[in-house]
C-alpha cells in the first residue's frame, strides 16, 4: 500500500499552514453584509445597515480605530475564533449554544422572528396569538405551537443555515417539518417566491424589507417568536479569552444607549425602535 | 471528529448517487454530442461545438445557479410540466452536473474518435463489414479505450464538482460537513474528515480506471 502511505503524508503536509491575523490596535469587526436592514451592501458594494453604523458609533465611544470586514454567515464564528477578526456584529442572537464557543456583549437590539408565505398560501389566516415568547411557556404558547404543528405538517420551511430560525425548526417544537437550509437570506427569499418553499422563517423585518424592495407579494403569518431557541437579543460576539475587548464593548454600548444613539440608528434602519 | 464520522458517511451516499447519476446521463449526452461533432453537416457540427463551448467555458457554480435559482424565477417556466422536475434541488443538481460533464465527455470522446488510425476502419471495409457495424464494433470500443485515462480524470473532477450541490440546499458530503460545523464551530476537524472521504473515493476510482486501462490495453 505504498500509494496509500504517500497520499496520507501529502495530506498531512498540506495542513500545516493556518493563517493568523492579529491586529495590533485596530479592532476588526466581522459582518455578513447580506441581512438587511441589520447589515447589507449598497449598489457600489459598500457595507451599510444598522450594525455598520452602530459599529462606527461604538468605536468612537471606545476611542479605537475600527475596520469592518465581510464574512459569509456560515463561517462567522469559526472566523472569529481563528482571529480573522475580533468581533462579530451580524444580527447574531445571543444563544446558549453559541455561548459555548464565544462570548457575547450585552444585547444592543432585539427583533422578533416570523413566518412568511406568498400571498394566497393556505397558511394565511392561522388562528394564533400575535406573538409568543417561548421562554415564558404557558398554555397560550402551547396551543399556538400546536396550531403551527398542524399547519406546517408536511410543509417545506426554508431558513438560512446556522441561524436561530433553523435551531427552532430543528428543535421539534413545531413537529417534524421539512427544513431546507440556504447560505444567505437572499436565497431563502428567492425560493420562497419561486414556490419551492411553502414558508420561510427569519427576522420579520427581513421579509418586510424584501417585500418592499422587490415588490413581491410576501406576507407574514402566524405569531411573532421570541425567547427560547430565539435567544436573548442581538449582541457583539467576542472570543472568550478577549475579556478586555468585551468590557470595552459593554461600556460603549452603555454610553451609546444612554445618549440615545442606538435607538436613533435603529429607528433609521428598521422604521421602529429595535434597540434594547 | 469521531462523532461526525457516521453522519458524514451517510451523506457520502448522496454524493455517490449524485456522481453516478450525473455520470450516467453525462455519458449519453457526451456520446451523442461527440457523434454530432463528427457530423459533416456544418449546422449540426456547430451546434454541438457551441454546446461544449458554453458548458466548458462557464463555471459549474454559475450553471447550477442559473438552473436552480434562475429558472425558478421565470413565472411561465413554473407553469410548465418541467417544473415538477426543476422544483426539486436534487434533479436541478443532476441536470446541471450531467450537462457539464456531458460537454467534457463529448470532447474526450471526439478526440478519441479522431485518433483512431484509419487503418482499423480500412481493414473493416476491406472485409466487407457494413460501416454501421464498423462504427459500433470497431470505432466505439477503441474510442472508449483511448479515452479511459482522460475520462477517469473527468470522473474525479465531477466527484469534486458534486460538492456544489450543497449550494442548492442538498445535504451531500459538503452540505452535512457545513451543517456540523455550524453547530460545533470546528471547521478544520470536520473538513479534514470530509476531505479524507473524498480522497478515498478518488483513490478507489483511480485504481478502477487503472485496472481497466491495463485490462483493455492492446
What global pTM score does this model have? 0.84
Using an 8 Å CB-CB cutoff, list chain B residues near A4. Answer: 203
Q: What is the mean pLDDT of each run of 10 residues along chain A (276 residues)?
A: 62 48 73 94 94 96 95 93 95 93 95 94 88 88 93 94 93 91 94 95 94 94 92 94 96 96 95 91
Q: Where are the domains of chain B?
A: 4-215
The domain defined by B4-215 folds into MetI-like fold (1.10.3720)
| Cell numbers given for A37 | 436592514
**How confident is the model at residue B3, as a pLDDT?**
79
Among A11, A190, A194, whose Cβ lies nearest the Cβ of B78? Answer: A194
A18 and B182 within 8 Å at the Cβ level: the answer is: no
Q: Does A183 touch chain B (CB under 8 A)?
A: yes
For B31-89, give the DSSP string: HHHHHHHT-S-HHHHHHHHHHHHHHHHS-HHHHHHIIIIIHHT-HHHHTSTTHHHHTSH
> B108-149: per-residue pLDDT in tens?
999 999 999 999 999 999 999 999 999 888 888 898 889 999
Share of residues in chain B with pLDDT > 90 (%):
81
Cβ neighbours of residue B5 under 8 Å, at least 6 residues apart? Answer: B193
The CB-side HSE value for A169 (13 A sphere, CA atoms) comes to 26
Q: How far is A184 from B54, CA to CA, in rounded Å?
A: 28
Task: Give the count of beta carbons closer than 10 Å to the beta carbon of residue A173.
Answer: 16
Judging contacts by C-beta atoms under 8 Å, the chain B residues touching residue A78 are 181, 185-187
pLDDT of residue A57: 96
Looking at residue A14, its pLDDT comes to 54
ipTM: 0.81
Cell of B13: 451516499
Contact A7 B167 (CB under 8 A): no
Instruction: Select the residue of A11, A101, A196 nearest B87 (Cβ to Cβ).
Output: A196
Q: In this predicted structure, what is the pLDDT of residue B187?
A: 87
Amino acid at each position: 500500500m505504498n500509494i496509500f502511505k504517500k497520499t496520507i503524508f501529502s495530506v498531512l503536509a498540506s495542513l500545516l499552514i493556518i493563517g493568523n491575523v492579529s491586529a495590533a490596535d485596530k479592532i476588526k469587526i466581522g459582518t455578513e453584509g447580506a441581512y438587511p436592514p441589520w447589515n447589507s451592501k449598497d449598489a457600489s458594494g459598500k457595507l451599510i445597515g444598522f450594525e455598520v453604523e452602530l459599529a462606527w458609533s461604538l468605536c468612537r465611544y471606545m476611542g479605537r480605530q475600527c475596520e469592518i470586514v465581510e464574512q459569509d454567515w456560515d463561517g462567522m464564528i469559526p472566523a472569529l475564533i481563528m482571529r480573522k477578526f475580533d468581533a462579530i456584529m451580524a444580527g447574531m442572537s445571543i444563544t446558549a449554544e453559541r455561548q459555548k464557543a464565544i462570548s457575547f456583549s450585552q444585547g444592543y437590539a432585539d427583533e422578533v422572528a416570523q413566518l412568511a408565505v406568498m400571498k394566497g398560501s393556505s397558511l394565511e389566516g392561522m388562528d394564533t396569538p400575535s406573538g409568543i415568547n417561548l421562554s415564558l411557556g404557558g398554555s397560550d404558547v402551547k396551543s399556538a405551537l400546536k396550531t403551527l404543528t398542524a399547519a406546517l405538517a408536511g410543509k417545506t420551511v426554508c431558513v438560512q443555515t446556522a441561524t436561530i430560525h433553523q435551531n427552532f425548526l430543528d428543535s421539534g417544537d413545531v413537529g417534524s417539518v421539512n427544513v431546507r437550509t440556504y447560505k444567505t437570506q437572499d436565497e431563502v427569499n428567492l425560493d420562497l417566491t419561486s414556490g419551492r418553499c411553502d414558508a420561510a422563517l427569519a427576522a420579520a423585518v427581513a421579509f418586510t424589507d424584501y417585500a418592499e424592495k422587490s415588490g413581491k407579494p410576501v406576507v407574514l403569518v402566524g405569531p411573532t417568536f421570541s425567547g427560547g431557541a430565539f435567544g436573548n437579543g442581538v449582541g457583539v460576539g467576542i472570543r472568550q479569552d478577549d475579556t478586555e475587548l468585551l468590557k470595552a464593548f459593554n461600556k460603549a454600548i452603555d454610553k451609546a444607549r444612554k445618549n440615545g444613539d442606538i435607538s436613533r440608528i435603529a429607528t433609521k434602519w428598521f422604521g421602529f425602535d429595535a434597540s434594547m | 471528529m469521531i462523532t461526525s464520522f457516521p453522519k458524514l458517511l451517510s451523506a457520502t451516499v448522496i454524493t455517490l448517487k449524485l456522481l453516478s447519476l450525473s455520470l450516467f446521463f453525462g455519458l449519453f449526452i457526451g456520446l451523442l454530442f461527440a457523434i454530432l461533432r463528427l457530423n459533416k453537416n456544418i449546422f449540426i457540427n456547430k451546434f454541438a461545438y457551441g454546446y461544449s463551448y458554453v458548458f466548458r467555458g462557464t463555471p459549474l457554480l454559475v450553471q447550477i445557479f442559473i438552473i436552480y435559482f434562475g429558472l425558478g424565477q421565470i413565472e411561465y417556466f413554473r407553469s410548465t410540466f418541467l417544473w415538477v422536475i426543476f422544483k426539486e434541488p436534487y434533479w436541478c443538481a443532476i441536470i446541471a452536473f450531467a450537462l457539464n460533464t456531458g460537454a467534457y465527455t463529448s470532447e474526450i470522446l471526439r478526440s478519441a474518435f479522431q485518433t483512431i488510425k484509419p487503418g482499423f476502419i480500412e481493414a473493416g471495409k476491406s472485409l466487407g463489414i457494413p460501416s454501421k457495424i464498423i462504427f459500433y464494433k470497431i470505432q466505439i470500443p477503441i474510442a472508449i479505450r483511448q479515452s479511459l485515462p482522460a475520462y477517469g480524470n473527468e470522473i474525479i473532477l465531477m466527484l469534486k464538482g458534486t460538492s456544489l450541490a450543497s449550494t442548492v440546499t442538498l445535504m451531500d458530503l459538503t452540505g452535512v460537513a457545513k451543517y456540523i460545523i455550524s453547530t460545533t464551530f470546528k471547521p478544520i476537524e470536520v473538513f479534514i474528515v470530509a476531505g479524507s472521504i473524498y480522497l478515498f473515493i478518488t483513490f478507489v476510482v483511480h485504481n478502477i480506471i487503472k485496472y481497466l486501462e491495463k485490462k483493455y490495453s492492446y
